[in-house]
Amino acid sequence: MNELNGGIRFIKGIGEARAKALEKLDIHTLYDLVSYFPRDYEDRSAVKPIADVQDGENCCVKAVVATAPTLARIRKGMELVKFRIADESGAANVTFFNQSYVKRNIARGGVYTFYGRFSRMGLHFELTNPVYEKADGGGVNTGRIVPVYRLTSGISRNVLSNAIEQGLKAADGLLKGVLPDHIERKYGFISSQQAYRAIHFPKDMTEAACARRRLIFEELFTLACALGSMKSRNTERSGTVIPMPETEKFYSSLPFELTGAQKRAVGDILADMSSGRAMNRLVQGDVGSGKTVVAAAAVWAAVRAGYQSAFMAPTELLADQHYNTFTKLLAPFGVKTVLLKGSMTAKQKKEIRELIALGEAELVIGTHALLSENVVFKKLALAITDEQHRFGVRQRTALSEKSDDPHVLVMSATPIPRTLALIIYGDLDVSVIDELPPGRKTTETFAVSEDKRERLNGFIRKTVSEGRQVYVVCPMIEENDDLSLHSAEEHFEQLRDVVFPDLRVALLHGKMRSAEKTDVMRRFAGGEIDILVSTTVIEVGVDVPNAVVMVIENAERFGLSQLHQLRGRVGRGADKSYCFLMRGSRGAESDERLRAMTRLSDGFKLSEEDLRLRGPGDFFGSRQHGMPEMKIASLADSLDVLSAAQDEAQKLLETDPALKKYPELEKRVKKLFEIKLN
């Protein structure tokens, strides 16, 4: 008896090496295998008489091998196997390049189904490197619609589809699905078992579409249930009463007048905190909309009432910056603020932890080091997470577990299309800061190619000569990607030594020691650096208003939301800012993205565009939202299903909040948020 969460070594053809290779595709268990969905299909269902085939057509023919295959070596390293095939209507020449084993596999007189692209050469058809199978063997790769999978080295399409075929047989009867019966009936979904088979090996495209529809619904429904049940748990929490303070006292201490949107957000927060129930609120505002001061108002209120607040930022860089900002903002009120980071010495950390435990530290700012077990608060009433999309859903709740039902405030600069906001933030109340501080000008954005490099360098020089500063961002493909680090280093050296030897150029990247990073940022913020070359470590939150030009190298490699975040580092002062998207290569999709950036500055509009280009699955799954990765709901066609899934989840949770009547669903929901803390 096989189990869905058991291994896959029992499958014929999957030995140790291939099992290892499959792990790279995140396939560990039988369930992973059968839910490794194809990203596309190739329609090989048409089987034609040779005479009916058109020049350039891809199709199957069923034919007999009419001549014995011959093997020829035409030059070093190049081998050809050739033979002729025929059916009642006509004949074709078949050639295999560098697959000499075909000579052994194919016998004269055998009948096979061949699939490939036919091209007419004079009187004959030529077929090169076709797929072939014995015609009587119940073809897997010919005569039907064949799935196309994302592959990895060591795993060919054949190996994978054979493994999945066997996996589906082994999982027979186990793939029950998690949709309640009444929902299955209401939408006329095919059964889960059928859907899994049909998504891989559909009889026709209609059946594939039915399978997709069900599986997408199921996936989004599960997600909606997971988030919905978090919300219902949260609304039951009672919270410390923080009496509503006279906000004017705080407002009048600030160097600027708050915008209407900022005041509304502060109002929402103070109302929550004084209500007797625990606050669970998201402040969503575009980059530069001024979320920090809103958080400061909340801290001010909590401290006034005699409680501690914690503020968690995703990077040490940001934690440093926030420490400075909060110290300044709250100085008039004598708030004792401390900083706690992983990179501090054990002794420093111990001292800080003592201040926290004694309640002497009123505001604690830090990275996820705050989550560490030995950080104990005396009377924590407010837990704030900045740039929450950089944390997993689990982590954002982890901070709130530092005390009994503290008020929870999360802040995000990632605008979410309205269609998705409900799902992503289903467990939170939302305040939107939809207004920028006065006097901000939109950052003028240009997509440029290498031929504009000279002019761009001239522009950078002019900017610096006016006393302004410049960011140059190099792509970081993955967090620990040495190659991209190398490119940032090289680019830095080029700028420092060759292009701008007379200017102050510095480098910032994630692999530097924390103290070094802090030092570079401090010098940049203090105007001691003219040009800061960096990887995407500056993506979130960094605030240096005197920096007015940003150059993004290889901009085609970035996603829209990341480009928007990066661009948000400039345009933070009263002066006109510029962003140059340097194109390393062109492509239809990336060109469209860069065009969107030059056209749109509103984060919400950009996020709608992002969603349109990528589909909700990619949108959820990407780092930006801390959501679990979707297996199938990744194409734009999932959008319609989304609101239905959301509705049904909500209805179900109203009748059965703990999903007790739906144990399979409950299990799946729990599994979805098994996100490990690091």
Nearer to Mg ion, 326 or 558 (CB): 326
Nearest to 552 by CA among 474, 459, 487, 451: 474
CB nearer ligand ADP, residue 92 or residue 547: 547
CB of 387 to Mg ion, least distance (A): 7
Whose Cβ is closer to ligand ADP: residue 168's or residue 525's? 525
Closest Cα partner for 50 from 139, 112, 118, 121?
Answer: 118
Q: Which CB, 110 or 545, lies closer to ligand ADP?
A: 545
Q: For the CA atoms of the chain, what is the radius of gyration?
A: 30
Residue 290 is a binding residue for Mg ion (CB under 5 A): no
Contact of residue 289 among ligand ADP, Mg ion, none (CB under 5-8 Å per partner type): ligand ADP
Cα–Cα distance measured from residue 167 to residue 4, given in angstroms and rounded to the nearest whole number: 10
Q: Which residue is nearest to ligand ADP (CB)?
A: 290
353: Cβ–Cβ under 8 A, 6 or more apart, which residues?
340, 374, 375, 376
Residue 142 or residue 309: which is nearer to ligand ADP going by CB?
Answer: 309
Quick one: tokens of 92? 């074709």
- The nearest distance, CB 624 to ligand ADP, in angstroms, is 15
Question: Rounded to whole angstroms, how far apart are CA atoms 269 and 244?
Answer: 10
Q: Which is nearer to ligand ADP, 197 or 281 (CB)?
A: 281
List, in sequence order, every residue forming a beta bridge with 128; answer none if it has no partner: 95
- Pick the closer one to ligand ADP by CB: 318 or 555: 318
What gap in Å lies between CA 534 and CA 554, rounded to an integer? 13
Q: Could you tell which of Mg ion, ligand ADP, none binds residue 285, using a CB distance below 5 to 8 A set by kind?
A: ligand ADP
* CB of 230 closer than 8 Å to CB of 672: no
Binding-site partner at residue 180 among ligand ADP, Mg ion, none, CB < 5 to 8 Å by type = none
Residues that bind ligand ADP (CB under 6 A): 256, 258-259, 262, 285, 287-293, 413, 437, 541, 543, 545, 572
Residues that contact Mg ion, how many (by CB under 5 A): 1
- Supply the minimum distance, in Å, between the C-beta of residue 386 and Mg ion: 6
Q: Cα angle vertex 322, ends 320, 326, to 5°?
A: 125
Closest contact distance (angstroms) between CB of 390 and ligand ADP is 13
User: Phi/psi at 392 (nearest 5 deg)?
Assistant: -70, 165
Q: Which is nearer to ligand ADP, 350 or 441 (CB)?
A: 441
CB atoms within 10 A of CB 453: 12
Nearest to ligand ADP of 100, 292 (CB atom): 292
Could you tell me the smallest distance in angstroms from the CB atom of residue 332 to Mg ion?
21
Among 202, 392, 417, 541, binds Mg ion (CB under 5 A): 541
Q: How far apart, in whole angstroms, are the C-alpha atoms of residue 325 and residue 574?
A: 19
Tokens of residue 456, six digits: 């761009």
Q: Smaller CB distance to Mg ion: residue 146 or 365?
A: 365
- Residue 155 C-alpha from the chain's centroid: 25
Selected range binding Mg ion among 169-177, 273-281, 541-549, 650-658, rule: CB under 5 A: 541-549
Q: E strands, 264-340, where?
A: 280-285, 308-312, 337-340
Q: How far is the CB of 25 from ligand ADP (least distance, A)?
A: 37
In 439-559, which residue ranges form alpha helices assigned H by DSSP? Answer: 453-465, 482-493, 514-525
The closest residue (CB) to Mg ion is: 541
* Residue 500 identity (one-letter amino acid): F
CB 14 within 8 A of CB 30: no
Pick the closer one to ligand ADP by CB: 293 or 606: 293
Smallest separation, CB 539 to Mg ion (Å): 11
**Binder of residue 406, out of ligand ADP, Mg ion, none (CB less than 5 to 8 A by kind):** none
Tell me how far apart the alpha carbons of residues 212 and 189 are, in angstroms, rounded to a whole number. Answer: 10
From the list Mg ion, ligand ADP, none, pick the one residue 287 interacts with, judged by a Cβ distance below 5 to 8 Å according to partner type: ligand ADP
Q: Which stretch binds Mg ion (CB under 5 A): 272-280, 478-486, 534-542, 567-575?
A: 534-542
**Residue 437 interacting entry, from ligand ADP, Mg ion, none, C-beta within 5 to 8 Å by type:** ligand ADP
Out of ligand ADP, Mg ion, none, what residue 625 binds, judged by CB under 5 to 8 A for its kind, is none
Looking at the Cβ atoms of 447 and 549, the one nearer to ligand ADP is: 549
Q: Which of Mg ion, ligand ADP, none does residue 143 bind (CB under 5 to 8 Å by kind)?
A: none
Q: Which does 197 bind (CB under 5 to 8 A by kind): ligand ADP, Mg ion, none?
A: none
Q: Rounded CA gap, 524 and 531, in Å?
A: 8
Structure tokens at 119: 């091209």
Q: What is the C-alpha to C-alpha distance for residues 489 and 458, in angstroms, rounded to an integer?
A: 22
Tell me the window of 15-23, 462-470, 540-548, 603-611 that interacts with Mg ion (CB under 5 A): 540-548
CB-CB contact of 665 with 659 (8 Å): yes
Classify 245 as helix, strand or coil. coil
- Binding-site partner at residue 199 among Mg ion, ligand ADP, none, CB < 5 to 8 Å by type: none
Query: Is residue 362 a contact partner of residue 290, using CB atoms and an 8 Å limit?
Result: no
- Partner from Mg ion, ligand ADP, none binding residue 147, C-beta < 5-8 Å depending on class: none
The least distance separating ligand ADP from the CB of residue 183, rounded to whole angstroms, comes to 40
Nearer to ligand ADP, 289 or 561 (CB): 289
Instruction: Write down the least CB distance from residue 375 to Mg ion, Å.
Output: 23
The residues in 144-173 that bind Mg ion, with binding defined as CB under 5 A, are none
CB neighbourhood size of 478 (10 A)? 8
Classify residue 644 by burial, with Cβ atoms within 10 Å: 0-12, 13-18, 19+.
middle
446 φ/ψ sector (left φ>0, alpha ψ -120 to 50, else beta): beta
Residues that bind Mg ion (CB under 5 A): 541
